[in-house]
Amino acid sequence: IISGGGTGGHIYPALSIAEGVQERLPDARILYVGSRQGMEKNIVPKRGFDYASVDIAGIDRSSMLKASQSLVKFPKSFFQGWDILKEFKPDVVVGTGGYASFPVVLASTFFSCRSYIHEQNAQPGLANRHLAGRVDCVM
């Protein structure tokens, strides 16, 4: 499983990783998990990868009320990620950051699969900062 989304800065590195895995391991099954409303839902299938989604949105930090409304979706998205992991049974979960990756990568830390995050920015984003201490490897 590869997960990341919200912006192209998370999506395109994830797709590069997926394409690299596919090139080296042609028989590997790759599932991309993103958000239901993010731009990744249109980009990823066009690149030929299976796509699953969780119902999550970025945290709107303009007010405490809006931030709270965003956070209310998290428990549901965590269990959606959990269900995707149970069904797909991945060997590895890689997150590239963004709000879409957080529930899936967090859920993966409770499974027997390896979990990694890839941070492509000089300053890690919120999702990767919170996941860094839980995953098997930070790249």
Kindly tell me if the per-residue pLDDT of 73 is higher than 90. no
SS3 100: coil
Please tell me the predicted confidence (pLDDT) of residue 4: 94
Whole-number pLDDT of residue 66: 77
* Segments making up each domain of the chain, as ranges: 2-138
Q: How far, in Å, CA of 117 to CA of 132, rounded?
A: 7
For helices 64-72 and 74-88, the axis angle rounded to 10 degrees is 30
Pick 2-138's CATH classification: 3.30.1330.50, 3.90.10.10, 3.40.50.2000, 3.40.50.300.
3.40.50.2000
**pLDDT digits 0-9 by tens, 10-24:** 999 999 999 999 999
Is the pLDDT reported for residue 72 higher than 90?
no
pLDDT category at 64 given cuts 50, 70, 90 is: confident
Which tens digit of pLDDT belongs to each residue from 74-124? 899 999 999 999 999 999 999 999 999 999 999 999 998 999 999 988 899
| pLDDT over 80 (residue 27) | yes
Strand order in the sheet with 137-138: 50-54, 31-35, 2-3, 92-95, 114-117, 137-138
- Check residue 60 and give its pLDDT: 74
pLDDT bracket for residue 5 (50, 70, 90): confident
Q: What is the pTM of this model?
A: 0.92
pLDDT of residue 91: 97
